[in-house]
Amino acid sequence: MPQFQYEVKKGPGDTAKGVLEAEDQKAAVARLRAMGYFPIKVELQQGGAKKKRKVPKPAGGGKADTAAAPVSRDPIANRFTRISLKDRNVFFRQLANLVDSGMIITRALRTLVEQTENIKLKAVIDDLRDEVQKGSPLADALEKHPKLFPTMYCALVRAGETGGMLDEVIWRIVTFGEQEEELRGKAVSAMVYPIFLTIVGFSAIFILVSFVFPKFISIFEEFNAELPTPTLIVMKVCEFMGNWWWAVLLGIGAVLYFSVRYFRTEIGRRQWDGFVLKVPVVKVVIQKYEMAKFARTLGTLLDNGVPVLTALKITASTMSNVIIRDEVAKIHTGVTEGDSMSESLQQCHYFPPMVVSMFAVGEESGKIGAVAKRIADAYDVEVDRAVKALTALFEPLLVVIMGVIVGFLVIAMLLPMMTLSSAIG
């Protein structure tokens, strides 16, 4: 039976090396994992007669990845390429499948480099492979790309590497990421139609006022007839828009640009997040979405052996709304000072009583992680319902607003026509 040289890690201590017999490399990796080790390198032992050429030792295992295809590092291509949430989830799913099949981590990353089409993601994976091959843990390699891999993912991978269960942890990351993608997708898809309707409606009004109605107004002026007040108002608006429509567009663009820049600052974002939490219907959607995200993130971290204080700190950093993020930070402070999680939750304004009660039950039973995931599943359904309710309310309201504006414009144009026709008759 062939013998395999291995290098393994168990816990945060030093690595261990040795030799074992197995049918093939996959069987050797499976056997080491069954013994509670995390394989770093497993390769077939060569005969003692031939001296092997020295190559850099890959910390992720397998033979050196000297055959890896070159990766494009074109900064222009990377600048215009975007890595979506779906791309990241696909990466982790493929990595989980490869690692679960017994493939060494560096070989798995090399395979993903070769088959990934996204140029920017391909470069990131190649960097991960380089770092792991040089001896860095995968978690440290992920931390060098914070915009793509959140702190939560890095903490989970670190826990998996320490506990020798990296494959299981990656599968949990896959589940978490796909649930997050589904939740975000529901919110985005529900708002696509109202946003489209808003853009089309206001674009139609802009075209009417700027280019169509001014031609009718020139006809009214030729008759020197006394015009009703609504028509005079529309005439003034059309006269201004006919001459300055380009300035209006530039002004709208400038307002949007500087508004986005301002709301991306810490003060601006805090003001915006506080405002949306005061809008009655929108507040419900935001609150339920943040509760689902809080519960799922915390539950996933706790179930993977991350300490409570660390899990709360990481969970706070994942919150989208800074006001609720501050409340999660207060929970972390309360638990640090000796309070239970449920007691700290009671001091928070945006955490519903149901969430507080379920966390209290989880603390009593010692299953906070499982309870948190149940809360997340429940709020996933609530978010879906809240978004549909918001859409159902927003769409008819938008139609009414558009109808009132267009109706006023049409009436303002018809009134002088009726007056002129009666005068001519």
The ranges assigned to domains in the chain are 3-44, 75-179
**Cα–Cα distance for residue pair 342/356, rounded to 1 Å:** 5
Q: What is the pLDDT of residues 358-395, one digit of tens each?
A: 888 888 888 888 888 889 888 888 888 888 888 778 77
**Cα–Cα distance for residue pair 227/235, rounded to 1 Å:** 10
Q: Which helix (H) or strand (E) holds 386?
A: helix 368-424
Q: Provide the token pair at 306.
A: 């991350």
In this prediction, residue 21 carries a pLDDT of 76
Q: Helix, strand, coil shares of the chain as percentages rounded to 5?
A: 70, 5, 25
Rg (CA), the chain: 31
E-only strand ranges, 106-175: none
In this prediction, residue 197 carries a pLDDT of 81
394 Cβ neighbours under 8 A, 6+ residues apart? 194
Q: How far is CA 74 from CA 78, 79, 80, 84, in A?
A: 6, 9, 10, 19
Smallest Cα–Cα separation from 63: which of 52, 71, 48, 51? 52
**Long-range contacts (CB closer than 8 Å, 24 or more residues apart) made by 181-185:** 181/85, 181/86, 181/89, 182/380, 183/289, 183/292, 183/293, 183/380, 183/383, 184/85
> For 124, which DSSP code?
H
131 with 90: CB under 8 angstroms? Answer: no
**Cα–Cα distance for residue pair 182/74, rounded to 1 Å:** 32
How many other CB atoms are there within 10 angstroms of residue 220's CB atom?
18
Residues listed for the chain: 425
184 with 85: CB under 8 angstroms? Answer: yes
Smallest Cα–Cα separation from 168: which of 62, 33, 308? 33
In this prediction, residue 423 carries a pLDDT of 52
Question: What b/e string do you get for 44-62 counting C-beta neighbours within 10 Å, with b at 16 or more?
Answer: eeeeeeeeeeeeeebbbbb
Percent above pLDDT 90 for the chain: 7
Smallest Cα–Cα separation from 292: which of 389, 160, 154, 387? 387
Find residue 41's DSSP bridge partners. Answer: 7
135 Cβ neighbours under 8 A, 6+ residues apart? 57, 59
**Cα–Cα distance for residue pair 131/117, rounded to 1 Å:** 21
**Mean pLDDT across the stretch 86-91?**
89
> For 103, which DSSP code?
-
How many other CB atoms are there within 10 angstroms of residue 419's CB atom?
17
Q: Provide the token pair at 237.
A: 């608006």
Q: What is the pLDDT of residues 127-138, one digit of tens each?
A: 998 888 887 888
28 with 20: CB under 8 angstroms? Answer: yes
pTM for this predicted structure: 0.65
Smallest Cα–Cα separation from 149: which of 71, 95, 76? 95
Q: Identify which of 238-252, 302-316, 318-332, 404-418 has the greatest average pLDDT.
A: 318-332
| Residue that the structure tokens 């009004």 belong to | 205
In terms of DSSP bridges, do strands 38-44 and 15-21 run parallel, antiparallel, or are they unpaired? Answer: unpaired
In this prediction, residue 255 carries a pLDDT of 93
Confidence of residue 38 (pLDDT cuts 50, 70, 90): low
- Estimate the crossing angle of helix 266-276 against helix 280-303, to 10 degrees: 110
Q: What is the pLDDT of residues 188-210, one digit of tens each?
A: 777 777 788 888 888 888 887 87
Q: Answer yes or no: CATH 1.20.81.30 is held by domain 75-179.
A: yes
